[in-house]
């Protein structure tokens, strides 16, 4: 475990292209919850199956913290979870003076996996595939490319990244490199604090959701024609809001490719990044 944590730290300290891809960490901890989860995942002891939280656990109180140069703000219940999922709950187990006369406080928390920026592991939809703690760290560190579909997503809430978008990107930037992280920018992240605008529905009825995604044909093209190791998007799943087949999910997961969802600040990411990671 110590080896992996040192590897993460060295990468973060030396990377010249760090962009915060989540919005915040809990204000009541002394270190990011994501990092503590990463520790548990690297130990292989996490009970999490399909997802691990990376973004925007914004709950009680209000506070600012600088994270790699970005000012982040906390506000109660701003985190968006998949409709019908259990939201974050913080329980104060004890705060006060103990029988020994010293002050002591301890908390417990609970939340659904699929909230904020998180990683969908292949096990999310495919039996027997890797869970979060089985995904190698290397899958989350490496070169990245950004496919920009914002212009058509502005016109169509169900717009998808298609094969033509990938071909256009390569015509402008060259062939997508091997062992790459592919990030899809729809612009939906700008609506993050507005749950109705972000999900395209104010209800918990998943059949009414409207947001952009990745076309299954584009997912298959990436898997069959390029060597990718991770995919990310600034919407809540990789398939668009009205998908009933989850074709892109299944294509990626059947090929052991994890998917990052609700990724923040993709507007700040250039088209090509030589070294990229969603940590910390």
pLDDT at position 115, please?
87
2 contacts: CB under 8 Å, gap ≥ 6: none
At 39 the pLDDT is 39
pLDDT at 161 over 90: yes
The pLDDT tens digits of the residues spanning 202-250 come to 988 989 999 999 999 999 999 999 999 999 999 988 999 999 999 999 9
Residues 6+ apart with CB under 8 A from 159: 149, 152, 153, 186, 212, 240
Pick from 10, 3, 32: which is nearest to 20 by CA?
A: 32
**Mean of all residue pLDDT scores within the chain:** 79
pLDDT for 21: 56
Closest by CA position to 229, among listed 259, 184, 265: 259
pLDDT of 8 reads 52
Q: What is the pLDDT of residues 180-204, one digit of tens each?
A: 999 999 999 999 889 999 999 998 8
Cβ contact 97:103 at 8 Å: yes
Q: How far apart are CA 215 and CA 204, in angstroms?
A: 24
Token duo for residue 156: 């169509």
Share of the chain above pLDDT 90, in %: 60
The stretches of 140-226 forming alpha helices (DSSP H) are: 150-155, 163-173, 195-199, 216-225
Output the pLDDT for position 176.
Answer: 98
List, for residues 16-53, the tens digit of each pLDDT value: 444 555 544 333 333 334 444 443 344 333 333 343 33
Q: Are 174 and 254 contacting, i.e. CB atoms less than 8 angstroms apart?
A: no
According to the model, what pLDDT value does residue 278 have? 72
Residue 241 vs residues 80, 181, 237: alpha-carbon distances, Å? 15, 23, 8
Arithmetic mean of pLDDT, 53-72:
31
Q: Residue 262, exposed/middle/buried by CB under 10 A (0-12, 13-18, 19+)?
A: buried
Confidence band (pLDDT; 50, 70, 90) for 93?
very high
Q: Which domains does the chain have, with CATH numbers?
A: 2-276 (3.50.30.50)
- Looking at the DSSP bridge assignments, the partners of residue 60 are none
Does a cis peptide bond (omega within 30 degrees of 0) precede residue 280? yes
The SS3 call for residue 216 is helix
Among 79, 141, 138, CA closest to 113? 79
Alpha-carbon gap, residue 143 to 140, rounded angstroms: 10
d(CA 275, CA 56): 23
Q: Using 50, 70 and 90 to split pLDDT, how confident is the model at 14?
A: low
Which pLDDT band, with edges at 50, 70 and 90, does 86 fall under?
confident
Collapsed DSSP state (helix, strand, coil) of residue 2? helix
| Helices 216-225 and 247-254, packing angle to 10 deg | 20
Maximal C-alpha separation, the chain: 70
pLDDT at 127 over 60: yes
Which DSSP category does 278 fall into?
A: -
């Amino acid at each position: 475990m110590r080896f992996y944590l040192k590897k993460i730290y060295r990468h973060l300290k030396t990377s010249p292209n760090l962009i915060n891809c989540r919005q915040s960490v809990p204000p009541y901890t002394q270190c990011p919850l994501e990092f503590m989860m990463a520790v548990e995942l690297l130990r292989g002891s996490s009970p999490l199956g399909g997802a691990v939280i990376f973004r925007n656990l914004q709950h009680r109180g209000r506070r600012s913290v600088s994270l790699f140069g970005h000012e982040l703000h906390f506000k109660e219940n701003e985190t968006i979870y998949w409709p019908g999922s259990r939201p974050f709950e913080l329980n104060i187990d004890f705060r006060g003076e103990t029988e020994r006369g010293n002050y002591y406080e301890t908390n417990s928390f609970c939340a659904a996996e699929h909230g904020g920026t998180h990683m969908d592991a292949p096990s999310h939809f495919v039996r027997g595939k890797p869970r979060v703690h089985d995904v190698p760290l290397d899958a989350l560190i490496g070169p990245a490319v950004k496919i920009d579909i914002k212009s058509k997503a502005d016109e169509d809430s169900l717009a998808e990244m298609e094969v033509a978008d990938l071909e256009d990107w390569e015509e402008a930037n060259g062939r997508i490199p091997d062992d790459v992280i592919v990030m899809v920018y729809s612009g939906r992240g700008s609506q993050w604090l507005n749950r109705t605008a972000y999900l395209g529905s104010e209800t918990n009825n998943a059949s009414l959701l409207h947001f952009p995604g990745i076309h299954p044909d584009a997912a298959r093209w990436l898997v069959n024609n390029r060597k990718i190791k991770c995919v990310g998007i600034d919407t809540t799943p990789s398939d668009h809001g009205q998908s009933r087949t989850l074709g892109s999910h299944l294509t990626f997961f059947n090929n052991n490719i994890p998917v990052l969802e609700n990724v923040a600040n993709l507007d700040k990411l250039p088209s090509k990044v030589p070294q990229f990671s969603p940590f910390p």
